[in-house]
Amino acid sequence: MMNQQGRPTAAGAAAAAAHPTFTGNKALQQTEALLFEVGRAGTTGVDLPPVPKGATRLGGLARKGAIGLVGLSEPETMRHYVRLSQKNFGIDTGLFPLGSCTMKHNPRLNEKMARLPGFGDLHPLQPQSTVQGAIGLMEMLGHWLMTLTGMPAVALSPKAGAHGELAGMMAIKAAIAARGETATRTVVLVPESAHGTNPATAALIGFSVKAVPADADGNVHVDEVKKLLGPDVAAIMLTNPNTCGLFERQIVEIAAAMHAAGAYFYCDGANFNAIVGKARPGDLGIDAMHINLHKTFSTPHGGGGPGSGPVVLSDRLAAFAPVPFIRRDGETLALVEHTEGTGALGRMAAFHGQMGMFVRAMAYMLSHGADGLRQASEDAVLNANYIKAGLADLMSQPFGDKPCMHEALFDDEWLKGTGVTTLDFAKAMIDEGYHPMTMYFPLVVHGAMLIEPTESESKASLDLFIMALRDLAMAAKAGNTERFTGAPYHAPVRRMDETRAARTPVLKWSPPRAVAAE
Amino acid sequence: MSTIRFSKDHEYIRVEGDVGTVGITDYAQGQLGDVVFVDLPAVGKTVAAGGEAAVVESVKAASEVYAPVAGTVVAVNDALSANPGAVNESAMGDGWFLKLKIADRTELDGLMTEAQYAEYLKSIS
Amino acid sequence: MRYLPLSQSDREAMLARIGVSSVDALFADIPADKQLKNLVDLPLAKSEMEVERTLGALAARNVPASSVPFFVGAGAYKHHVPATVDHLIQRSEFLTSYTPYQPEIAQGTLQYLFEFQTQVAALTGMDVANASMYDGSTGTAEAVLMAHRVTKRKKAVLSGGLHPHYADVVRTVSAMAGDEVITLPADLAGGEDLLAAVDSTVSCVVVQTPDVFGNLRDISALADKCKASGALLVAVFTEAVSLGLVESPGAMGADIVVGEGQSIGNGLNFGGPYVGLFATRQQYVRQMPGRLCGETVDANGQRGFVLTLSTREQHIRREKATSNICTNSGLCSLAFTIHMSLLGEKGLTHLAALNHAGAVALADALAAVPGVKVVTQAFFNEFTIRLPKPAAEVAELLSEKGILGGVPASRLLPNAGLGDCLIVCSTEVNTDADRAAFAAALKEVLA
């Protein structure tokens, strides 16, 4: 097998396997044991001044036994975590085409700004007169989010997208309660293609969920919604653009139908990156939409968090926004922290929201500006369609070959009879140096593969990705199953035994003697 | 002499006297993948026909197991907590979930026979 | 536009390949009358330099904690974070990676999560911990929901020493879910009778120690009462460093322990992002919210780690999920893990002792100011003082004198009759000079 430069690779791999190492390391790829296997109870990498002598005032509640922690010196700590980092794939490593996650470049200016002492070193409860600039930044962010979405109100405090969904749905529930309809409006409509957080959120606050079918086009049809609309319906939760990467063409009609029936429209804003500066969700008739700052607005994913999920609200819901919210009195800004005298639905989390992510998002938004944000959305959509054009003859699409928005959706129809599944295909992508695309989501598509390149990819990067996927697709169709079913071969570890992890969960390290005793 | 019946949700009930042994079919276990945990009901619980009787979890999915007919739970398969894999290895045998004292035998007539279930599987695959 | 690699000629070539004449054709599904013809009314693109100027100006209008003698706590704490921590969390492979759903290329994340879970279980004295929650307050609400699932009861009792923001979050979620919450009155001295509130209709008792006023509480008797009544004891903490010196909630009999981890590895950040710590007993592990990282082996038999027990989570159970959570606190939990690795057993216990000694010294110094009474008897690094003037006014006057002297209780509880109470915190960053300056300024303000 030849790689792109025309040099044989098979011989090299075989040669490497023929020379095993003593340490198990492979040059730069180093193994690293657990902290609890290399650390020591008596070691610390932090120097602290001596504890002044004196009586304690602990009320007899001093700790009696050891905690069970270990420590490392500073050089050992550095090595331990640097070695771990080398086993991770990040956006900075290569293309990360995770559909609906918007893995765009995380600018380092964001990090620099967030670490300014005037932002990073502020306590949420120090006197508000000493943090006017911080509240000013929150006000600025709110203004940008409301302007981009065309909505009159925003709640900044939710800590993540799903938390923002919760806030939005709680606002809807509060609005329904204010009309005295809590007992009757108990149903929320959710498409089968929706992200799992949608029905989970609705159920959490006591709604029952009714599924809305998608039509053969991948869209939700207003007639299907009207069939389910009745006085028992509180709201619909729609993702737009939807999880199939398509703009919901009838969204305006659906919003009108919901409002005519006295119900509300929650919009899942996970895919907002496709339409920033091109359309405003507020113009489409939505009542609430959460925004994922860690998707659309470039704050880093950090290996799973922290996120930030502000939620924009319509006039119908603005009065119910949770505390805290910002009140301006001339030159002075204040955070209103208590619900008395307001219609606020309550409080979503302690303090004021993910300020660290607000600063990062603001740095990104200021950098792009109105023109850059619009260009970014256009490039995101262009890149996804370019990939689709490059693969459409080899990979099947569930809703036919038509333009997509910022993500391209394929199903596994084209893999039928090859012995290769979507999962296998994804694992082979790892060997090629790519993070797999989103797999098996949305659930309504069999063996779904959802590819979202974002606007951060150059044309050269996209061209190589397309060629690599074409090579993989042709290999799968040609019956070269081993390349897929045993993949990945080149990652630090092979496929994991997830069954074993779930059947006999081991969720922390235990000292060897304790294990033997069980 | 035992009779066996099947539901559209891929549960089976093997009836002996007025007690039925309930589990999921071999097809269902194949669809689920490796079973990692089974959440069984308490002995003595009454279930309606089509009501949730148990939950079966694999690595990637969790599915409700519905009672094919109404009845009272008289036994559960405790062996599954130590060995949930039995559901994969022997769905129709050692991988049974629970035994039901059947409330109304006529409800069995609404379920599929073995031959009908085989036809049903052909139609959905 | 430095973040966009495509050139105009790239775009043209790509449009040609796709087979459309302009990018607008790709937006045709948006109703024509809803497509924005012009740019939105916001400033245009800025260079890095201009962004720094704009944001720098906003930052300059705030008073950073390090710039003055600083004694503000009540749920978020100013500690020293070693330079190593912030350096490591900015490594690309940590900063720009995703949730470890593809374990083969995420063993870095998964291994540190496993280490984090081990650390949190050890600190709290519990069997198992999850891979973090958003923060302590939402974690507390999740703990209450979990207790309802386990006990099949729907009534939570909240101690009057629980951080009022945490109580507000629990009440907000519970009201929406139709669950009952009983909140005891604000408990300044830590002497409330929680045992009397426990009966067989209660699913859980939520008690914080050290509580919001600083009181250290022995919850063992409460644990026994809960067990006898079939209720769960949820122990909450907001100052993770306290676990280096004070008896763990697990040792005192808690069933669920939830708290804020911000003190370790994470700066104040004006309230977020923070990191929720959540731990429980082995028997409840399948009812735990949030992500869990477990140990296993790969196809070659090599040890590795993977997210597990996922069927509890939203992406699989959907409306039957244990919660709707999607993210954990990722990078913040890494910062916690790294700082805790640097500290180790020895460093954490030393750090905690230092905090307590400083707080005791501060309590003595403030008690010597005429008119000031220290209310809290047993505390870790935070206590409440009663003043002869409204505390909010005193805090503002102190601020004008360049001292950030604590949190007026009325800021958190405006209607609890605690207008004369100030919650004061002293950590390892405070020097003797800081404490002397505070006492002197307070004396002047009260004169």
A273-311 pLDDT per residue, tens: 999 999 999 999 999 999 999 999 999 999 999 999 999
- Could you tell me what percent of chain A has a pLDDT over 90? 87
**C-alpha closest to that of C215 among C239, C195, C184, C231:** C239
The torsion of the CA quartet A390, A393, A399, A401, rounded to 10 degrees, works out to 60
On the question of pLDDT at A107 being above 60, the answer is yes
* DSSP string computed for A41-108: TT--S---PPPPP-----TT-B--S-----B--HHHHHHHHHHHHTTB--TTTS---BTTT------H
| Confidence tier at A7 by pLDDT (50, 70, 90) | very low
First-to-final CA distance of chain C:
59
- Among A32, A69, A336, most C C-beta atoms within 10 A, so best to mutate, is A69
* CA-based nearest distance A231→chain B, Å: 27
**Integer angstrom CA distances of residue A453 from A407, A408, B10, C440:** 7, 9, 40, 60
Contacts of A512 in chain C (CB under 8 A): none
State residue C320's pLDDT score.
Answer: 60
The mean per-residue pLDDT over the stretch B93-117 comes to 94
State residue C38's pLDDT score.
Answer: 97
C311–B61 C-beta distance less than 8 A: yes
3-state class of A40 per DSSP?
strand
Rounded Cα gap, residues A367 and A109, in angstroms: 9
A502–B57 C-beta distance less than 8 A: yes
Rounded Cα gap, residues C205 and A459, in angstroms: 58
Q: Are A29 and C108 in contact (CB under 8 A)?
A: no
pLDDT tens across C225-249, in order? 999 999 999 999 999 999 999 999 9
CA atoms B27, B29, B32, B34: torsion sign: negative
* CA-based nearest distance B84→chain C, Å: 14
C310–B37 C-beta distance less than 8 A: no
Which stretch of A216-230, A378-392, A445-459, C41-55 has the lowest confidence by average pLDDT? A216-230
Contacts of A390 in chain C (CB under 8 A): 17
State residue C25's pLDDT score.
Answer: 96
**C-alpha closest to that of A228 among A258, A255, A202:** A258
Rounded Cα gap, residues B17 and B98, in angstroms: 15
Asked if the C-beta of B60 comes within 8 angstroms of chain C's C-beta atoms, the answer is yes
* DSSP string computed for A249-272: TTHHHHHHHHHHTT-EEEEEGGGG
State residue C109's pLDDT score.
Answer: 98
User: Mutual orientation of helices A132-149 and A355-391 as an angle, nearest 10°?
Assistant: 30
On the question of pLDDT at A236 being above 70, the answer is yes
CA atoms B13, B14, B17, B19: torsion sign: negative
Domains defined for chain B, CATH in brackets:
3-124 (2.40.50.100)
On the question of pLDDT at A478 being above 60, the answer is yes
| Confidence tier at B62 by pLDDT (50, 70, 90) | confident
State residue A218's pLDDT score.
Answer: 82
The mean per-residue pLDDT over the stretch B55-65 comes to 86
Return residues 349-378 of C near A (CB < 8 Å).
349-351, 353-354, 356-357, 360-361, 363, 377-378
Same fold for the pair C83-340 and C345-446: no
On the question of pLDDT at A11 being above 70, the answer is no
Closest chain C residue to B60 measured between Cα atoms?
C311
* CA-based nearest distance B37→chain A, Å: 7
Fold of C83-340: Aspartate Aminotransferase; domain 2 (3.40.640)
State residue A443's pLDDT score.
Answer: 80
Rg, C-alpha atoms of chain B: 13
State residue A335's pLDDT score.
Answer: 98
Rounded Cα gap, residues A374 and A382, in angstroms: 12
What residue segments make up the domains of chain C, in order of their start?
83-340, 345-446
The mean per-residue pLDDT over the stretch A73-93 comes to 98
On the question of pLDDT at A2 being above 60, the answer is no
**Integer angstrom CA distances of residue C389 from A128, A346, C178, C393:** 20, 31, 41, 7
Q: Which residue has the higher pLDDT, A460 or A445?
A: A460
**DSSP label at residue C304:** E
- Among B45, B59, B63, B65, most C C-beta atoms within 10 A, so best to mutate, is B59
A306–C332 C-beta distance less than 8 A: yes
State residue B59's pLDDT score.
Answer: 85
- Among A497, A503, A518, most B C-beta atoms within 10 A, so best to mutate, is A503
pLDDT in tens, chain C (447 residues): 999 999 999 999 999 999 999 999 999 999 999 999 999 999 999 999 999 999 999 999 999 999 999 999 999 999 999 999 999 999 999 999 999 999 999 999 999 999 999 999 999 999 999 999 999 999 999 999 999 999 999 999 999 999 999 999 999 999 999 999 999 999 999 999 999 999 999 999 999 999 999 999 999 999 999 999 999 999 999 999 999 999 999 999 999 999 999 999 999 999 999 999 999 999 999 899 999 999 999 999 999 999 998 776 655 555 565 566 556 899 999 999 999 999 999 999 999 999 999 999 999 999 999 999 999 999 999 999 999 999 999 999 999 999 999 999 999 999 999 999 999 999 999 999 999 999 999 999 999
| Confidence tier at A6 by pLDDT (50, 70, 90) | very low
Neighbors of chain C by Cβ distance (3+ pairs < 8 Å): A, B
Asked if the C-beta of A498 comes within 8 angstroms of chain B's C-beta atoms, the answer is yes
Max Cα-Cα span within chain C: 83
CATH superfamily, with its number, for domain C345-446:
Aspartate Aminotransferase, domain 1 (3.90.1150.10)
Residues 6 or more apart in contact with residue C229 via CB below 8 angstroms:
C198, C199, C200, C202
pTM of the entire predicted model: 0.95
Contacts of C170 in chain A (CB under 8 A): none
Asked if the C-beta of B34 comes within 8 angstroms of chain A's C-beta atoms, the answer is yes
User: Looking up tokens 């690595």, which residue turns up?
Assistant: B59
State residue A18's pLDDT score.
Answer: 77
Contacts of A503 in chain B (CB under 8 A): 34, 36-37, 84-85
A498–B84 C-beta distance less than 8 A: no
Q: Are strands C232-237 and C204-208 parallel, antiparallel or unpaired?
A: parallel
Neighbors of chain A by Cβ distance (3+ pairs < 8 Å): B, C
Contacts of C294 in chain A (CB under 8 A): 501-502, 505-507
Total H helices, total E strands in chain C? 13, 13
pLDDT tens across A200-209, in order? 899 888 999 9
Q: Chain-wide mean pLDDT for chain A?
A: 94
